[in-house]
Amino acid sequence: MATIFVDYKHLKELLKELFPSDQKDEEKGTVYGTYGSAENKGIEFNRQQFINELIKEVEKVNAHYKKQEEKLHQEYKTVSSQALAVTVDRESQNQGLMRSINISFVDMYRNLNMLNNFVYLNKIAFDKIAKKFDKASHGKYRKVFEKKINQTYFATSTKIADLLRDTAAFYANLFENGDVTKAKVRLLAKMAQGSYGKNDMLWLGFKIGIVLMLVFWNLFNLVVSPNLHIKEGMEVFIPLYRAVGLIVSLIWMWGFNIYIW
């Protein structure tokens, strides 16, 4: 699902352009950071120009959120209708269809979480840029703008939270005998599992091979050939290498323990 975030970089560059940091107030002889020695009329014009750009970004984010929210709502209705239309007997001819519905629920749950994160990240970005704007223009607009953001549709809508709850409940009734907590764990686990590709597994195997080779080499030096001839000046590296080997082994054992449990 493609997402359109607030153009934080553009707004930050616009701030630097409208409120240059090297300007000074000649009357007071004080560096105002980004306020500068421009006339009040020019400063107000620059402030309004930045506020207009900020509002455009809010409208862009809001429009994208509404579009994605409606799309996910329709997707939920479609998938849930398909799930209700088939039997839950996964041992019969519907096994493939149930697997397809399972995947659809996982994808939808992932997209719902992504849209939820989209709201959170954009609210943080707007708050940060508003703080920079106050500092740059020596104004007090942050609280006003924060209030405006909190009144927008993407910040006040609870539909995504409701869809997350309903999706987990529906999945629980369909696949986990009504256990919502277990359903959430399954959905999140499959989301994480789906984020890895063949190249990731190949790279993981390559790194495991290197680690195992180093471990066996270390064991060989310790057990098979403890009196291995070491060149002069290299003695200091052997204890260091063994210490690193122990740390790597500890991390792998810890990870294996978490995987098992």
pLDDT of residue 69: 96
Condensed to tens digits (0 to 9), the pLDDT of residues 66-122 reads: 999 999 999 999 999 888 887 555 455 467 788 888 889 999 999 999 999 999 999
Q: Above 50 in pLDDT, residue 36?
A: no
> How far lies 4's CA from each of 109, 122, 149, 157, 200, in Å?
19, 10, 17, 18, 27
Rounded average pLDDT over 246-258: 77
pLDDT of residue 114: 92
Name the percent of the chain lying above pLDDT 70: 76
pLDDT of residue 27: 37
Q: Above 50 in pLDDT, residue 50?
A: yes
Q: Above 80 in pLDDT, residue 255?
A: no
- Which structure tokens are listed for 117? 């994160």
Arithmetic mean of pLDDT over the chain: 79
pLDDT of residue 214: 74
pLDDT of residue 76: 94
Name the percent of the chain lying above pLDDT 90: 30
Q: Above 70 in pLDDT, residue 153?
A: yes
Rounded average pLDDT over 47-67: 92
Torsion of CA 63, 64, 69, 75, to 10 degrees: 130
Rounded average pLDDT over 118-139: 90
pLDDT of residue 245: 73
Q: Above 60 in pLDDT, residue 29?
A: no
pLDDT of residue 261: 59
pLDDT of residue 26: 39
